[in-house]
Amino acid sequence: MAATSSSPAPFIDWSLLGHVVVYSVVIGVGLVVAFSFGLAALSLARGTGRSALVRVTGSIVSVVMVAAIASALVWGLMLIVKK
């Protein structure tokens, strides 16, 4: 990887490693938070004794969260495939 570069590559590419660390933590935590938020919203929507507004809002939020997670995964996989 480094051999063909015109300028000498650093012995350890801390920038690359830093990107892996930051993106991994942000994406990993973000997806779990989104899923949990959707699950909590679904629980609200399914709960007994809730108003219609709460039920509808809960359902919409849970669907939006699932869609957001699916979109993030598809986008991530497309980035990898493009490479």
Partner 1 sequence: MLLLLIVVGVALAFDFTNGFHDTANAVAPTIATGALKPRTAVAMCSVLNLVGAFLSIKVAATIASALVAQNLVTLPVIFAGLIGAICWNVTTWYFAIPSSSSHALIGGVIGAMLVMAGGHSVLWSGLVSKVIIPAGLAPFVALVAAAVAVVAARRLTSRVDASTSTMGFRIGQIGSSSLLSLAHGTNDAQKTMGVVTLALIANGSLSANASTPVWVIVACAVAIALGTFFGGWRIIRTMGKGFHHLTPQQGFAAQIASSAVILTSSHMGLPLSTTHVATGSIVGVGAATTNHPVHWRLVGNVALAWVITLPAAGLAGAVAYFFAHLIGGTFGVIVLALVAAAYLALIFRLSRRHVVNSINVNDAIDGIGEAVAPKTPVAV
Long-range pairs of 56-64 with CB within 8 A, sequence gap ≥ 24 = 61/37, 62/38, 63/38, 64/38
Q: Which residues contact 73 (CB under 8 A, 6 or more apart)?
A: 31
Rounded Cα gap, residues 81 and 83, in angstroms: 5
Other C-beta atoms lying within 10 Å of the C-beta of residue 57: 15
**Quick one: 28 or 71, whose CB is closer to partner 1?**
28
x/- map, 50-69, partner 1, by CB under 8 A: --------------------
Q: Which of 49, 52, 53, 80 binds partner 1 (CB under 8 A)?
A: 80
Distance of closest approach, residue 77 Cβ to partner 1, in angstroms: 7
Which residues are near partner 1 by CB under 8 A? 1-4, 9-13, 16-17, 19-21, 23-25, 27-29, 31-33, 35-37, 39-40, 42-43, 46, 73, 76-77, 79-81, 83
